[in-house]
């Protein structure tokens, strides 16, 4: 305990540890350490964001994907996936419905679907921004060229979420087919940053072949890249993927890492993810109590919800957008937090 409490003190004081210290912080963790980290993470977040939890309306625009990530339920090779693509009109309707419900940030997420070329996507982004100028538009549509990211930015996109998935090149190769490249993923993150997007990286907790060493590399990456947003959630197997027999990541480790990340980069926007709510009915609440400060209710049309199945038993597939928002508002209220629907920008303090 002596050693781990020293590491926690050092992290809280300087927002940084060495790679081997991060590894040791994970390796030697116990309930007592988790409790101390949680307390420090909540205190740190409180100073910047108070008890406010930001909401982002998630619109899952397409489950068509040209990639074949071994972990993902919408991978190209999954022949059992019932494919859909929302029309631009449907996407605009979702954002208008969201606007009426009070949302001021929309996240357009989907597989890498060639239908959404720059022209189509750019026009959707411009229309959302002109219809709702007080809203932020976040894209989460995978790897694109510098030119494409630049064009979308010029159409009004504000933020981009692209999980790095793992900071270890060796580990990346075990999660993806040979055509996919870690170098390109990192280049995309750098391109996005250089174009002035607010950028989100992140990774799955408990992904196959992950180790405390690769996790330490993820933490170092976050420390150095300083993303405005960071999405971490447990890996959950999907029955029609090569990783169907691997076990899911745990609530315990995910919450522990949420606290650590809050201390590494205090102002980071950190969601308590749907995946966390899927592995445990109180997962999102416990994520917030560990240091997260964002939730992302689903705004996708009910008819497609079940089809955007990245992993088995995903929650919120039968609820209307309004129900999801109210459900999360109540859940947050019960633990003493309040959801706010403002744009919820990163606070550079
Ligand atoms: N295509 C875009 C991309 O690659 O960034 C966005 C969509 S992708 C499905 C969104 C995220 O879902 C991925 O970055 C990955 O971390 C997560 N994900 C995929 N399969 C998962 C699984 N089985 N369990 C948990 N998270 C998963
Ligand atoms: Fe979707 Fe609770 S957040 S039903």
> Residue 338: enclosing H or E segment and its boundaries?
strand 338-340
* Pick from 41, 7, 35, 47: nearest CA to 23: 7
pLDDT tens digit sequence for 181-225: 999 999 999 999 999 999 999 999 999 999 999 999 999 999 999
pLDDT tens digit sequence for 22-70: 999 999 999 999 999 999 999 999 999 999 999 999 999 999 999 999 9
Over residues 116-123, mean pLDDT: 98
Ligand number nearest CA of 230 is 1
Name all residues whose Cβ lies below 6 A of ligand 2.
297-298, 316, 319, 323-324, 327-328
> Residue 159: enclosing H or E segment and its boundaries?
strand 159-161
Residue 345, domain member (yes or no): no
Instruction: Using the mean position of ligand 2's atoms as its centre, give its distance from the Cα of residue 331 in Å.
Output: 9
Instruction: Using the mean position of ligand 2's atoms as its centre, give its distance from the Cα of residue 109 in Å.
Output: 18
Q: State the virtual CA torsion across 223, 246, 66, 319 in degrees, nearest 10.
A: -90
Buried b (16+ CB within 10 A) or exposed e, 47-76: ebbeebbbbbbbbbbbbbbebbbbbbbbbb
Question: Residue 305's domain spans which residues?
Answer: 2-340
Question: What gap in Å lies between CA 296 and CA 53, rounded to an integer?
Answer: 10
Residue 146, domain member (yes or no): yes
pTM: 0.98
Over residues 106-129, mean pLDDT: 98
| Residue 35: Cβ-neighbour burial (10 angstroms; 0-12, 13-18, 19+) | exposed
Instruction: Using the mean position of ligand 1's atoms as its centre, give its distance from the Cα of residue 201 in Å.
Output: 11
Question: What gap in Å lies between CA 238 and CA 216, rounded to an integer?
Answer: 26
Question: What gap in Å lies between CA 95 and CA 338, rounded to an integer?
Answer: 22
Residue 348, domain member (yes or no): no
Residue 349, domain member (yes or no): no
Q: Is any ligand 1 atom within 6 A of the Cβ of residue 172?
A: no
Residue 321, domain member (yes or no): yes
Which atom of ligand 2 is nearest the CA belonging to 297?
Answer: 3
Token duo for residue 5: 């409490």
Residue 347, domain member (yes or no): no
Question: What gap in Å lies between CA 212 and CA 225, rounded to an integer?
Answer: 20
> Structural domain tally of the chain?
1
The model's confidence at residue 129, banded by pLDDT at 50, 70 and 90, is very high
CATH number of the domain at 164, please: 3.20.20.70
């Amino acid at each position: 305990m002596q050693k781990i409490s020293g590491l926690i003190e050092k992290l809280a004081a300087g927002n940084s540890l060495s790679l081997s210290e991060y590894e040791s912080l994970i390796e030697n963790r116990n309930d007592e350490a988790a409790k101390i980290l949680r307390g420090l993470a909540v205190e740190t977040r409180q100073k910047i964001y108070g008890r406010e939890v930001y909401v982002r309306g998630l619109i899952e625009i397409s489950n068509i994907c040209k990639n074949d990530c071994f972990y993902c339920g919408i991978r190209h090779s999954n022949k059992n996936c019932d494919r859909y693509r929302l029309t631009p009109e449907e996407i605009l309707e979702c954002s208008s419905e969201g606007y009426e419900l009070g949302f001021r940030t929309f996240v357009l997420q989907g597989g890498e679907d060639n239908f959404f070329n720059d022209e189509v996507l750019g026009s959707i982004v411009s229309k959302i921004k002109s219809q709702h100028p007080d809203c932020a538009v976040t894209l989460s549509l995978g790897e694109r060229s510098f030119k494409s990211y630049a064009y979308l930015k010029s159409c009004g996109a504000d933020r981009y979420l692209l999980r790095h998935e793992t900071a270890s090149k060796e580990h990346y190769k075990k999660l993806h087919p040979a055509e996919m490249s870690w170098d390109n993923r990192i280049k995309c993150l750098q391109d996005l940053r250089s174009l002035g997007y607010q950028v989100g990286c992140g990774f799955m907790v408990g992904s196959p072949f992950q180790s405390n060493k690769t996790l330490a590399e993820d933490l170092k990456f976050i420390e150095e890249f300083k993303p405005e947003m960071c999405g971490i959630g447990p890996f959950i197997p999907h029955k029609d993927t090569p990783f169907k027999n691997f076990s899911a990541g745990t609530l315990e480790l995910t919450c522990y890492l949420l606290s650590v990340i809050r201390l590494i980069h205090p102002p980071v926007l950190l969601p308590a993810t749907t995946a966390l709510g899927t592995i445990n009915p109180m997962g999102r609440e416990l994520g917030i109590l560990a240091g997260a400060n964002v939730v992302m209710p689903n705004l996708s049309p009910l008819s497609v919800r079940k089809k955007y199945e990245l992993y088995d038993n995903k929650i919120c597939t039968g609820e209307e957008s309004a129900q999801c928002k109210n459900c999360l508002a109540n859940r947050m209220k019960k633990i003493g937090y309040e959801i706010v629907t403002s744009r919820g920008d990163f606070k550079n303090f």
